[in-house]
Amino acid sequence: MLEQRRIRDFGIVIGKLPTGQRNAITDVEGVRVGHATIKKGDVNTGVTALIPHSGNTFQEKLIAAVHVINGFGKSAGLIQVDELGTLETPVLLTNTFGVGTAINGIIQYMLAQNTDIGDKTGTVNPVVFECNDSYLNDIRGMHVGSSDIDSAIENAAADFPEGAVGAGTGMSCYKLKGGIGSASRLIRIGGKNYMVGMLVLTNMGKLENLTVAGRKAGAEIAANQKEGKPSADKGSLIMIIATDLPMTSRQLKRIARRAEVGVARTGNDIATGSGEIVLAFSTAQRIKHYEKRGVIDIKMLDEECLDTVFQAVAECSEEAVLNSMITAERTVGRDGHIRESLTRYL
């Protein structure tokens, strides 16, 4: 990854499984991530784009699944992913009021790549996730524009920054600075190596609940602050899992359900006002849009091997959340609101 100090650089190792080369979702071959960051005065927001594979995602769809932990959110495209079990576009993350712009941006991007969409074939299902960054950002100004969508997609690469960038620019996590985080795990099944990676957008949690590798760090930090009363939890958490394991949509939904295990280890108790959503996809198999065969063969993982994948997902989610905080710098945002970086306390 780029030259940022991540949680392991502070001597804190999460889990037991080995990481990928980058310890990021882009360790899954073909996955790329890009950002467009908008930061000026009261404006702290942006867009993050995840490209799921290097080909045409509409013509060659990926098997996918969605799991909604708590549905307080305004995401787009989830119903069709859940119904059909496929992903056919890049995935965008942004603030709540940027969802409409992001939808249009993906549609324009896909139309430029596919002249048949909406003409000789059906429409396209854009997938967009959001969190509310209004504590640090002038969200009412609706500052995310179509050019930002284009920029995030065009900037997508295997190496990408984390923290207060892109969609994470104005996000808070455990009442400290949150944002974009990532992690990966290398697992060996059937004599072969496979990768599990995760990208998170963190905007949730109470400070007093923050736990770092088992240590009640948030309680220690809160005890030294003068505010006195516990903080409310009104935010969101988006988690995207990528793997090169051959899996069915049902199996991907099963691993998506385990994403919260690692997040819970950081202290998250899934408040009523926190939208928590997981998307999982596999790059191992492509579903052709113009499939000529009546019956197609789909490989799947032996169910007895899923426990290792569950462990990988849990470790990734815990570490990705901490990476989203440790890489995010102190931010002064709208109306002088401040979110300190976790690095101040480590």
> Among all residues, which ones are annotated catalytic?
236, 274, 276
| 3 state SS of 156 | coil
CA angle 35, 88, 237 (to 5 degrees): 50
User: In angstroms, rounded to a whole number, what is the distance separating the alpha carbons of residues 230 and 209?
Assistant: 10
Cα dihedral 129→268→143→92 (10° resolution): -20
Residue 165 to residues 93, 161, 179, Cα–Cα distance (Å): 11, 7, 7
Q: Which of 21, 4, 95 is nearest to 333 (CA)?
A: 95
Contact status, residue 239 vs residue 202, Cβ threshold 8 Å: no
User: In angstroms, rounded to a whole number, what is the distance separating the alpha carbons of residues 67 and 279?
Assistant: 7
144 HSE (CA, 13 A, CB side): 35
Give the amino acid at 223.
A
Give the amino acid at 139.
I
Exposed, middle or buried by CB within 10 Å (0-12, 13-18, 19+), for 222? Answer: buried
